[in-house]
Amino acid sequence: MSLLTVWPETDAAEPILRTPDPAAIASALEPIGVRFERWTADAVLPTGATQDEVIAAYRTEVDRITAAEGYILVDVIRLQPSDDPEWPAKAAGARAKFLTEHTHDDDEVRFFVEGAGIFYLHIAGRVHAVLCEAGDLLSVPKGITHWFDMGVEPSVAAIRFFHDEDGWVGDFTGDPIASRFPDFDEIWAGYAA
């Protein structure tokens, strides 16, 4: 399942739209240039699977999208809860990295293969929160203001696609808008209920 919630940028209390329907999510995002697709992501990844193993499990899909869209680099981000005493600090650091509004000079393209995360797209006077789970491909065009949250206990794996070796860094706007909208844990609690 996936979930799209859309609010006016000035009011996080009353959503304009809330839908778990993949076709409705794709149609709502298409006018703002954001591509959303549902693929099949049913490979079982062992704990500690390497980046190459994750990519190999989805080789057909990765090759298809890489060839179609000219990506030159593919990697994997994977965070899983752990008993390691260093985990809470590592998780908090990873979460904080893109938790405030920013843009990139390259598209941000993610294919989720495990767990969940939420992209918040701030565009055209609205905030679109796209809760992505395994099977969701989201392509956020360069220049779109957005932030990303994966909660206090991140559990997510995603394949990332890049056009350029070093064009992908965050350019932060300084706008505190992210703090005014429900975070991952709040949306997840409402979604799972």
* List of residues contacting Fe ion (CB under 5 A): 98, 108
Amino acid letter for position 39 = W
- Residue 162 CA: distances (Å) to CA of 60, 105, 166, 182: 17, 11, 9, 29
The DSSP letter of residue 2 is -
- Residue 147 CA: distances (Å) to CA of 26, 32, 166, 174: 19, 16, 20, 12
The alpha carbons of the chain give a radius of gyration, in whole angstroms, of 16
Smallest separation, CB 188 to Fe ion (Å):
19
Determine how β-strand 156-162 pairs with β-strand 108-123. Answer: antiparallel
Smallest separation, CB 158 to Fe ion (Å):
12
Determine how β-strand 136-140 pairs with β-strand 108-123. Answer: antiparallel
For Fe ion, the closer of residues 98 and 188 by Cβ is 98
For Fe ion, the closer of residues 45 and 147 by Cβ is 147
The length of the chain, given as a count of residues:
193
CB atoms within 10 A of CB 12: 16
For Fe ion, the closer of residues 133 and 149 by Cβ is 149
Smallest separation, CB 102 to Fe ion (Å):
6
Smallest separation, CB 84 to Fe ion (Å):
26
For Fe ion, the closer of residues 80 and 103 by Cβ is 103
Smallest separation, CB 9 to Fe ion (Å):
18
For Fe ion, the closer of residues 98 and 181 by Cβ is 98
